[in-house]
Amino acid sequence: MYGIVSLAVALPFARRLTAKLTRADLVALVKFALVGNLLYYMLLTSAVQLVDIAPTSLIVGILPVTMTLAGRHDHGAVDLRHLAWPLALVVAGIACINLDVFRDVLTHADNAASSIITRLARLA
């Protein structure tokens, strides 16, 4: 589904972009896209199996912000004031995920300390 939506969004710009690219460039782009997506989803599924869905979704959810801030550092093109609402939504998502991860720790006080340490170790 991600590929179909991406293709639908990219189609209006395709003629303008492909005018500058050679056939070899397009082949390389397709290869990188396939390898990148396959590697990403293989790592994602193994992460879900190893540490569960909540920590995995936390890390995956932070990736767009991390990439934006890393790109901003190099080029200085993105003003953080324009990112206030998206960053607030990411922080809200992180809070929701963490509440879900540690909810059972709060309800079962007998193993709370060891369970928190175990979950943080798995997250790391």
pLDDT for residue 75: 58
The position carrying tokens 């990403």 is 40
Q: Which residues contact 119 (CB under 8 A, 6 or more apart)?
A: 55, 101, 102, 105
Q: For all residues of the chain together, what is the average pLDDT?
A: 75
Q: Is the pTM of this model over 0.75?
A: no
pLDDT for residue 72: 66
pLDDT digits (tens, 9 = 90+) for 73-108: 655 566 777 778 877 887 787 777 777 666 665 666
Q: Say whether pLDDT at 111 is over 70.
A: no
Q: Are 59 and 47 in contact (CB under 8 A)?
A: yes
Q: Say whether pLDDT at 54 is over 70.
A: yes
Q: Are 119 and 102 in contact (CB under 8 A)?
A: yes
